C-alpha cells in the first residue's frame, strides 16, 4: 500500500541537510538544552508545584498526613470563608484600600512626570528626580520605621509640627487610631512610589513629537490645553497598559506595608486578603483555609485582568 | 503657573527627603537627649555613641554580614543562571522553544500563593537554611526575557566566526555574549541586589535561627517590639509608661534609628552613582512589552 504523505523521518528537512530523527536532533543540541533545562526545572519546582498546591484549598490538609492522605472536602473552606464574620471587613478593606491607592496613587506619578517635564532648569530637575527615586530603594522596614518615628507621640515630627501650629494640644497617636490608617497607608505608598513610577511616564512624554507642540503654540494654545490635548493622549497607551495591570491587582491592596504599619488594635480597618491569608495560614497554621482564600483571590484577579484587557483591547491598547 | 510647579516640586523634594534626614539626625543624637523631644533638623547633642553600640552588637553585625553574603550570592547566582538560561532560549535552533516560553510566561500571571509555597519549602527541608533566601528565586523570568532579547540582537557573525575558531555554544556564551552584555548585567544586577538587600519577609517566615537572619528582618523585630512597647505605654498612665519602658529594655529611639541607618546606608551610598542604571533598567523592561 503506497503512502502518499511521507512520515516525519522521511520528510525532507527544510535545511536540505542530512535527515535526522527527533531524538538525534535533540541529542545533537544537548549543550543548549543543558542551558535551559535546569532553569526550567527550578521554575517547575518553585513556581508550578505551588500552583498545584492550591488543591490544598479543597482538602482538610494536615501536616502529619501530608498531601496524599489528607481528606478532600470540596468547597467547604470557600463556603466557610463567605460565611465568616471576618469576610465582610476583609473584603471591604481590600477594596477600599485598593481604590484609594488607585485613585490617588495611579495619577500621582503621571502628574509628577507632567510637572517635571515643564521644568527647564536641568539641575533642579535632576535633583528632584534623584531625591524622589530614593524611597523606592528603601525596604519597607526602613520606611515603616521612619513613618512611625515621624508619627510617634514621643516627639515625632508631625505631632511637633501640629502642636507648633496650635492645631492640636496633645500629640495624636496616629498609628493606633483606625481612622487615620487608610490615609497613612496611601500617603506612605505614594511617597514611596511616586518618583520611581514617574520614570516611565517621563520617558513616554519625552517621546512625543515636538512639532505637535509647535503647531499648537502657533494656534495659540495654552500650556494647559497642550498638556490636555497633546501630551496625555500621546502617552495614553502607556497609561492604559498600567491601568490594566492595576485593575488586575485590585485585590492586592498591599502586604508588606500593611504588615509593618498595622497592629492588632486596628485590624478592623487594616486586614486585607493577603494579610489575612498570612495570619490565618502561617501564624495560625490553618493551611487549607488560607489556601482556599488565596485561590479565591487569584481567580477573581485573573477574571478582572481579563475583563480589563478585553475592555482595553477595544481602544487598541492591550496586554494581549 | 511655573511658580506653582516649582513650589510643588520643592515641597515634594523636601517631604521625600525629610523623613530620611530626620532619622539620620536622631541617630547621631544622644539617646537620652532625644527622649526629651524636639530633635528635627540637626542633632542637638551630637554623638557617635549609638553607632558604637550598634557596631559592637553581635546580632546587628551578624545580620549585616548575612545580608551582604545573601546579596552577593543571591545576585551572582541569579544573574548568572538567568543569563545562561536566556542564552539558550535565544538560540533559534532550540527545540521546544515555544513550549518553554509558555511555561515561563504563565508564571508571570499565575502563582500558587503564599501557603503552598511555604509548605513546599517546608517539605524540601529548606527551612532555617541560608539557601532558602537564594535558591527559590534564582530564575527570574522577567530578567530572562530582557537578556534573551539582548542576545537575539547580537550579530550572527560574531557567533559564526567564534565557532569557526573552534568554540562551542558554551564557549560563545562565556567568551562573547556575556562580555558584551556588560550594561545589561550591571543594570539587572543592581535591581536584584536591591531586592535581596531589602527582603525581610521571606527570612522572617522561613528562618528561626537568629544567626541566619539578615539585618532587615532583625530591624523589623527591633522596631516591632518598640511599637508594641510604645502602645502599651500609651494605654497606661505616664508613670506606668516609664516603668514599662525600663522593664521591657526598649531600644532607645536613637539606637533604633542608628540600626535603621546601618540597614539602609549601603543602598543610599551606592545609589547616586548607579542611579542612571536604574533609570535605564526601568525603560529596558518597559519597552519589551
Range of the domain at A223: 85-314
Number of domains within chain A: 1
pLDDT of residue B30: 81
Residues near A192 by beta carbon (within 8 Å), at least 6 away in sequence? A135, A136, A138, A143
pLDDT at B214 over 90: yes
Share of chain B above pLDDT 90, in %: 54
d(CA B245, CA B233): 8
Nearest by CB to residue B103, choosing from A43, A200, A294, is A43
Q: Which chain A residue lies closest to B218 (C-alpha atoms)?
A: A141
- Report the CATH number at residue A140: 1.10.3720.10
pLDDT at A257 over 90: yes
At residue A70, the 3 state secondary structure works out as: coil
Determine, for residues A194 and B18 on separate chains, whether the beta-carbon distance falls below 8 Å: no
Determine, for residues B197 and A56 on separate chains, whether the beta-carbon distance falls below 8 Å: no
**Best CA proximity match to A49, nearest among B207, B86, B199, B136:** B136
| pLDDT tens per residue across span A61-86 | 888 888 788 888 889 999 999 999 99
pLDDT of residue B140: 94
pLDDT of residue B276: 78
Residue B114 · residue A277 · CB < 8 Å? yes
Residue in the structure block whose three cell numbers are 490615609? A183
pLDDT at B47 over 50: yes
pLDDT of residue A188: 95
pLDDT at A179 over 70: yes
A271 conformational bin, left if phi > 0, alpha if psi -120 to 50, beta if neither: beta
d(CA B148, CA B88): 8
> pLDDT tier at B247 (50, 70, 90 boundaries)?
very low
SS3 content of chain B, % helix, strand, coil (to 5): 80, 0, 20
Q: ipTM of the assembly? A: 0.86
> pLDDT tier at B228 (50, 70, 90 boundaries)?
low
| pLDDT tens per residue across span B163-177 | 998 889 999 999 999
pLDDT of residue B249: 44
Q: Which chain A residue lies closest to B256 (C-alpha atoms)?
A: A145
Q: Which chain A residue lies closest to B99 (C-alpha atoms)?
A: A40
Nearest CA of chain B to the CA of A96: how many Å?
Answer: 22
pLDDT at B246 over 70: no
Residue in the structure block whose three cell numbers are 501536616? A63
pLDDT of residue A64: 83
Residue A81 · residue A296 · CB < 8 Å? yes
Q: Average pLDDT of chain B?
A: 86
| pLDDT tens per residue across span A136-165 | 999 999 999 999 888 988 778 888 888 888
Q: Which chain A residue lies closest to B93 (C-alpha atoms)?
A: A29
Determine, for residues A277 and B289 on separate chains, whether the beta-carbon distance falls below 8 Å: no
| pLDDT tens per residue across span A267-284 | 999 999 999 999 999 999
**Residue A114 lies inside a defined structural domain of this protein:** yes
**Residue A260 lies inside a defined structural domain of this protein:** yes
pLDDT at A1 over 70: no
Nearest by CB to residue A195, choosing from B16, B81, B111, is B16
Residue in the structure block whose three cell numbers are 502563582? B111
* B19 alpha carbon, distance to own chain's centre: 20
Nearest CA of chain B to the CA of A64: how many Å?
Answer: 12
Which runs of consecutive H residues, i.e. helices, occur in A134-248? Answer: 140-151, 157-164, 178-206, 210-218, 223-226, 232-248
The CATH superfamily holding the domain B58-287 is MetI-like (1.10.3720.10)
Nearest by CB to residue A132, choosing from B5, B13, B91, is B13
| pLDDT tens per residue across span B76-117 | 999 999 999 999 999 999 999 999 999 999 998 888 889 999
pLDDT of residue B236: 53
- B227 neighbourhood in chain A, CB within 8 Å: 148, 175, 263
**Residue A60 lies inside a defined structural domain of this protein:** no
Q: Average pLDDT of chain A?
A: 87
Nearest by CB to residue A131, choosing from B5, B16, B138, is B16
Q: A255: number of CA atoms within 13 Å, CB side?
A: 16
pLDDT at B215 over 80: yes
> pLDDT tier at A309 (50, 70, 90 boundaries)?
confident
Judge whether B104 is closer than 8 Å to chain A, CB to CB: yes
**Residue A292 lies inside a defined structural domain of this protein:** yes
Sign, CA torsion B153/B156/B162/B163: positive
Mutation for testing the A interface, residue in B17, B74, B85, B116 having most A CBs under 10 Å = B116
Mutation for testing the A interface, residue in B115, B124, B289 having most A CBs under 10 Å = B115
> pLDDT tier at B200 (50, 70, 90 boundaries)?
very high
Q: Which set of grid coordinates corresponds to residue A271? A: 486586614
DSSP type of residue A231: I
Nearest by CB to residue B5, choosing from A119, A260, A298, is A119
> pLDDT tier at A245 (50, 70, 90 boundaries)?
confident
- B197 neighbourhood in chain A, CB within 8 Å: 139
pLDDT at B248 over 60: no
Q: What is the count of residue pairs from A and B with beta carbons less than 8 Å apart? A: 260
Determine, for residues B136 and A153 on separate chains, whether the beta-carbon distance falls below 8 Å: no
pLDDT of residue A111: 93
Amino acid at each position: 500500500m503506497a503512502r502518499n504523505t511521507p512520515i516525519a523521518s522521511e520528510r525532507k528537512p527544510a535545511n536540505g541537510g542530512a535527515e535526522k530523527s527527533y531524538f538525534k536532533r535533540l541529542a545533537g543540541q544537548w549543550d543548549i538544552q543543558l542551558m535551559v533545562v535546569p532553569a526550567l526545572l527550578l521554575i517547575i519546582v518553585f513556581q508550578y508545584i505551588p500552583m498545584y498546591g492550591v488543591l490544598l484549598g479543597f482538602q482538610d490538609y494536615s501536616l502529619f498526613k501530608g498531601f496524599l492522605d489528607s481528606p478532600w472536602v470540596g468547597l467547604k473552606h470557600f463556603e466557610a470563608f463567605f460565611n465568616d464574620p471576618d469576610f465582610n471587613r476583609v473584603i471591604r478593606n481590600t477594596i477600599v484600600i485598593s481604590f484609594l491607592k488607585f485613585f490617588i496613587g495611579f495619577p500621582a506619578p503621571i502628574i509628577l512626570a507632567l510637572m517635571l517635564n515643564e521644568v527647564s532648569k536641568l539641575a533642579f530637575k535632576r535633583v528632584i528626580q534623584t531625591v524622589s527615586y530614593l524611597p523606592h530603594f528603601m525596604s519597607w522596614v526602613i520606611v515603616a520605621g521612619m513613618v512611625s518615628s515621624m508619627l510617634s507621640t514621643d516627639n515625632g515630627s508631625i505631632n511637633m509640627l501640629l502642636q507648633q501650629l496650635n492645631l492640636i494640644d496633645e500629640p495624636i497617636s496616629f498609628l493606633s487610631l483606625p481612622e487615620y490608617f487608610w490615609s497613612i497607608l496611601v500617603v506612605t505608598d505614594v511617597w514611596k512610589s511616586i518618583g520611581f513610577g514617574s520614570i516611565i511616564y517621563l520617558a513616554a512624554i519625552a517621546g512625543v513629537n515636538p512639532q505637535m507642540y509647535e503647531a499648537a503654540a502657533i494656534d495659540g494654545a495654552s500650556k494647559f490645553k497642550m498638556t490636555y490635548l497633546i501630551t496625555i493622549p500621546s502617552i495614553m497607551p502607556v497609561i492604559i497598559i498600567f491601568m490594566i495591570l492595576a485593575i488586575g491587582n485590585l485585590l492586592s491592596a498591599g502586604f508588606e506595608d500593611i504588615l509593618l504599619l498595622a497592629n492588632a488594635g486596628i485590624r478592623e480597618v487594616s486586614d486585607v486578603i493577603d494579610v489575612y491569608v498570612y495570619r490565618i495560614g502561617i501564624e495560625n497554621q490553618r493551611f487549607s483555609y488560607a489556601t482556599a482564600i488565596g485561590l479565591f483571590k487569584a481567580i477573581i484577579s485573573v477574571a478582572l485582568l481579563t475583563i480589563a484587557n478585553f475592555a482595553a483591547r477595544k481602544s487598541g491598547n492591550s496586554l494581549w | 503657573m511655573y511658580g506653582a510647579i516649582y513650589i510643588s516640586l520643592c515641597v515634594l523634594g523636601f517631604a521625600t527627603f525629610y523623613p530620611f534626614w530626620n532619622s539620620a539626625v536622631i541617630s547621631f543624637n544622644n539617646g537620652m537627649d532625644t527622649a526629651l523631644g524636639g530633635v528635627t533638623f540637626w542633632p542637638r547633642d551630637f554623638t557617635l555613641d549609638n553607632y558604637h553600640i550598634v557596631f559592637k552588637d553581635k546580632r546587628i553585625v551578624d545580620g549585616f554580614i548575612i545580608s551582604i553574603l545573601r546579596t552577593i550570592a543571591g545576585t551572582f547566582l541569579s544573574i548568572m543562571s538567568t543569563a545562561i538560561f536566556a542564552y539558550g532560549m535565544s538560540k533559534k535552533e532550540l527545540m521546544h522553544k515555544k513550549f518553554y516560553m509558555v511555561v515561563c510566561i504563565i508564571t508571570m500571571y499565575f502563582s500558587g500563593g503564599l501557603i503552598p509555597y511555604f509548605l513546599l519549602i517546608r517539605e524540601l527541608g529548606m527551612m532555617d537554611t541560608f539557601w532558602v533566601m537564594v535558591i527559590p528565586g534564582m530564575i527570574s523570568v522577567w530578567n530572562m526575557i530582557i537578556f534573551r532579547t539582548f542576545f537575539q540582537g547580537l550579530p550572527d557573525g560574531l557567533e559564526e566566526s567564534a565557532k569557526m575558531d573552534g568554540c562551542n555554544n558554551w564557549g560563545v556564551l562565556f567568551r562573547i555574549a556575556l562580555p558584551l552584555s556588560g550594561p545589561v548585567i550591571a543594570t539587572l544586577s543592581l535591581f536584584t541586589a536591591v531586592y535581596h538587600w531589602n527582603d525581610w519577609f521571606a527570612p522572617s517566615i522561613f528562618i528561626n535561627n537568629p544567626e541566619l537572619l539578615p539585618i532587615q528582618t532583625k530591624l523589623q523585630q527591633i522596631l516591632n517590639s518598640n511599637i508594641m512597647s510604645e502602645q502599651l505605654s500609651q494605654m497606661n498612665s505616664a508613670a506606668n509608661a516609664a516603668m514599662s519602658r525600663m522593664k521591657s529594655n526598649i531600644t532607645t529611639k536613637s539606637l533604633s534609628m542608628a540600626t535603621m541607618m546601618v540597614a539602609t546606608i549601603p543602598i543610599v551610598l551606592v545609589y547616586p552613582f548607579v542611579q542612571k542604571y536604574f533609570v535605564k533598567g526601568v525603560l529596558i523592561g518597559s519597552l519589551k512589552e
